[in-house]
Amino acid sequence: MQTQSRRLVENLLDKEALVFPPPKRFDTLRIEAAVKEILAAIGEDPEREGLLDTPARVARMLKELTAGHGADPVKELSCRFVEEKAGLVLVKDIAFSSTCEHHMLPFTGVAHVAYLPQDGQITGLSKLARVVETVSKRLQVQERMTAQIADALEALQPLGIFVMVEAEHSCMVLRGIKKPGSATITTDCRGIYKQDSQARSELLTLLNRA
């Protein structure tokens, strides 16, 4: 195992090996080897006691944080019902944490997800939270994450979709501009909530209620 790990580290040092094809599965061994190289590259000793288990910990962490890659959020909406009198469905403040693909630092916040059923077609409320969880567990940008949530809701064929995501980005807090407390808001409006300003205004009023 040590020989194989050492070989992977040597491959990482080969410039031609720095361009990797996407793995077909989560490659724990490759990640551990890469983390060891990063530790060495910043001047640390990967073999010192406090860092011996760090590569394995980082691999487990990345597996959890990217569990949504390859997962289809639409499958979370397979549980559907017909409720003929159903009106607007809005779930506010769905907490999430995701990982920015630019610096691989976390961004965290809440998502507000709404849809207006057509012909009474609804899904379980918890399923909306599962959609948010699935798309957040990927290397993401907030704008794409917002759109992917809305894309999944299209499976319900509703009259309207509205998604708002509010988040704080570590890449703005810990590095660069270093502005803690700044929030980024993204939205995606579809159907009636894009076409009808009054319907959109009524929805925003509900969102702004304490």
Q: What is the pLDDT of residues 3-26, one digit of tens each?
A: 554 555 455 445 444 454 555 678
Each residue's pLDDT, cut to its tens digit, for the chain (210 residues) gives: 445 545 554 554 454 444 545 556 789 999 999 999 999 999 999 999 999 999 999 999 999 999 999 899 999 999 999 988 889 999 999 999 999 999 999 999 999 999 999 999 999 999 999 999 999 999 999 999 999 999 999 999 999 999 999 999 998 888 777 778 789 999 999 999 999 999 999 999 999 885
CA 31, distance to chain mean position in Å, is 20
Is 101 annotated as catalytic?
A: yes
Is 100 annotated as catalytic?
A: yes
CATH architecture group of domain 73-208: 2-Layer Sandwich (3.30)
Is 69 annotated as catalytic?
A: no
169, two tokens: 């980005």
Element (H, E) at 12: helix 2-13
| Helix locations, 94-191, DSSP H | 125-136, 142-153, 170-173
**Whole-angstrom Cα distance, residue 160 to residue 153?**
10
Output DSSP code: residue 176: T
Is 112 annotated as catalytic?
A: no
Provide the residue ranges of all domains of the chain, joining segments of one domain with +.
2-65, 73-208
Same fold, 2-65 and 73-208: no
CATH class of the domain whose range is 2-65:
mainly alpha
Is 103 annotated as catalytic?
A: yes
Which of the residues 32, 76, 100, 112 is marked catalytic?
A: 100
Is 32 annotated as catalytic?
A: no
Which of the residues 83, 102, 143, 202 is marked catalytic?
A: 102
